[in-house]
Amino acid sequence: MTEVIGLSVGILGAIAACIAAVPVVASWLPVDLSDNEKAILRLAVKYDDYPGIIQYYIEPVVDRVGPCVNSPYKNDYLGVTFEILELRDKGLLTVMDGTHQSRGNAVWYQLTGKGFRIAKSLASTSP
């Protein structure tokens, strides 16, 4: 009887360990990015003034029709749809804390460590 209980506890422990390891193993897998997501990451590291930081405009800016992103205080805009949300879900972007002076209704985002590593590798291999 004791052996059955010990075996049951051992099996449950092994199952719990496998479940707990899923996020760690998932972080080892390469991140699948669309062309627009790659362009946003490249834009975030394009200028040295604000490395790893982008501004996201929900409302149209200048002659843009819809939402767009740019590097802070640069006129290098890139139209977006849902890519910002995808990058946040993938753990590559996070909203910056604090208040930042900017025109319009911009939300400032910064790359996470993982996002910065991917952006740097994309920038070094881009044409």
pLDDT at 112: 92
pLDDT at 111: 94
pLDDT at 41: 92
> CA of 55: how far to CAs of 17, 18, 76, 113, in Å?
40, 39, 11, 18
Edge-to-edge strands, sheet with 53-57: 78-79, 68-70, 53-57, 106-111, 93-95
pTM score, two decimals?
0.73
For every one of its 127 residues, what pLDDT tens digit does the chain have, with 9 covering 90 and above? Answer: 788 888 888 899 889 888 888 877 766 767 889 999 999 999 999 888 888 999 888 877 767 668 888 888 888 888 888 899 999 999 999 988 666 656 667 888 999 999 999 998 888 876 5
pLDDT at 39: 92
pLDDT at 93: 93
